[in-house]
Amino acid sequence: MRIESKRLDLHNKFIHEYEQQNTSLLDHFDYNPYENNVFEKRISDLKEQNFDRDALANVLYKLNLKWDADRSTFKSIESLRDQNSVVVIGGQQAGILSGPLYTINKIISIISLAKQQEAELGVPVLPVFWIAGEDHDYDEVNHIYLPNVSDLTKISLQDDYSERVSVSNRSLSASDATNWLRDIFGQLKETAYTKDLVTNVEQNLHKADTFVDFFALFIHQIFKDTGLVLIDSGDKNVRELESLHFEEMILKQAMINEDVYKSLQSMRTKGYHVSVDVNEHDGHLFIEENGERILLQKEQNLWVGKNNECQYTEAELLSVARETPERLSNNVVTRPLMQEKLFPTLAFFAGPSEAAYWSILKNAFHHLSMKMPPVLPRVSITLVDQKVSKLVNKYSMLMEQVLNKGVQSNKQNWLKSQSHTPVEEMADQFKALIKQGHTPMKEITTDLTNDISQFADKNLELILAHVDQLTNRINREFTQKYDVHLKEFDYVQMHVRPFDGLQERVWNIIYFLNLYGDNWLKEINEYPFDWKKQHYIAYL
């Protein structure tokens, strides 16, 4: 396998200026991640925080044991008890069969940096992935896309739960999920790896009680021997660890919300897009009522459901935090705060949108007596199979251009080059001759009625329209003649720039595991990725 780094044409103002170390932007963070000694600074700062390492390690042991983790994971968990140990962490929702490739890329980023920094810093550095099991946006995680000739088909797994039930609390229907899996593999080409892959995935399904379990079992299976540690934010035992931190967030809600709101306005004034809405009443916590997550708001001295589903005094909510913390969960603002309360974080890997909304949290961290960890843009990887690579070479395309702009201009130029007859030019010349020949007829009508003059104009339009129809018919014939070639361009587009975006936002790893097995993933996990280089292409 060959791996090479490539720059992308960034249209994201935030990420571009973050990479350029724009001072005005970096003022919203506690660390400049591009400084050479940033990780040494972070380790020094972490010594001022206290972490309940043993309790966290005990919970992580139980969770990862349930998810069939291997010895390397438990070794990582044990090293967390070491007061000098730190973690590299990132998170995502529990997408089915791991979800889009950006989840895989984030995990690869975490594993790579943890390994590098452990060697450089001389302390244990654990790779940790935070599963956002408390999230209830099921439609975001219940599907994958698979190729169908030159297009992608969305295949979803539906269930009967309310839309506000968290993913951690969604039990899997074994029969529905099995049928869904059979549909998935029925659309994939059978290879030497298919049988074992199907067997392993179905075994995971039968072991899993919930949607998150299915995700975690699959992740541990494909990232074995990497030391990766998983945590489910929706797990009851994790919530018990968070009890005191929920209390602190409740008591300091007003200060947190005020500064988050101010930071958001500052970012927007500077021209940055932050995909988070904050208003003066936000409580930034959810509470579970009758199995559903209810977003809380603060109205004077009361905490109320966003749609008035429930009502709590501060004392009552603090009692919930102490006695039944599993009923509480975080939103987009408090999730990062809770993560940092639990883990001694050396670095946090974020996607573009995540990094942007972390920019409004600096003072919120300070209110909880913490510094925000260094926020690193995760590595982005495009996987290129052998057929795509051959087609790119066949049509003399540049992979970097395909990544940034797609194949449409190459496709059109190639089609035009196949005809030795310049159809468009001939059509333009023909229309010019028609206009020239029609002019004397039009001139005769100038001395006649308006009706005949208008009829002459309409007559010319109709004749020219017929020429356009002929031109279009000729072009359609060319297209049909070269249909196989044009579909090859579409194949490249579908694989490298689907829906005119990056592959990682659409494709699922199951396609590549079925085609090539998992040895290529092991090679990637050994590769020393540099997160500062932004994007990589892996030729399988």
What pLDDT shows up at residue 451?
Answer: 84
What pLDDT shows up at residue 167?
Answer: 83
Angle at 32 between CA 27 and CA 34, to 5 degrees: 145
Q: State yes or no: pLDDT of 492 exceeds 90.
A: yes
Task: Name residue 130's beta-bridge partners.
Answer: 91, 231
Q: State yes or no: pLDDT of 420 exceeds 70.
A: no
Query: Rg of the chain's alpha carbons, rounded to an integer?
Result: 29
Helices (H), strands (E): how many in the chain? 24, 15
| CB-based contacts of 531, cutoff 8 Å, min separation 6 | 109, 112, 113, 349, 376, 377, 378, 379
Q: Where are the domains of the chain?
A: 248-330, 388-500
What pLDDT shows up at residue 162?
Answer: 80
Question: Predicted confidence band at 151 (pLDDT cuts at 50, 70, 90)?
Answer: confident
- Of 259, 353, 359, 278, the residue nearest 25 (C-alpha): 359
CA distance linking residue 26 with residue 297, whole number of Å: 30
**pLDDT tens string 275-310:** 888 988 899 999 999 888 999 999 988 999 988 899
Question: Predicted confidence band at 421 (pLDDT cuts at 50, 70, 90)?
Answer: low
Q: Is 297 helix (H, G, I), strand (E, B) or coil?
A: strand
| CA–CA distances in Å: residue 213 to residues 289, 346, 450 | 23, 27, 79
Give the amino acid at 345: T
CA distance linking residue 100 with residue 507, whole number of Å: 5
CA distance linking residue 387 with residue 496, whole number of Å: 12
For 154-169, give the DSSP string. Answer: EEE----S-TTS-GGG
> What is the arithmetic mean of pLDDT over 80-98?
96
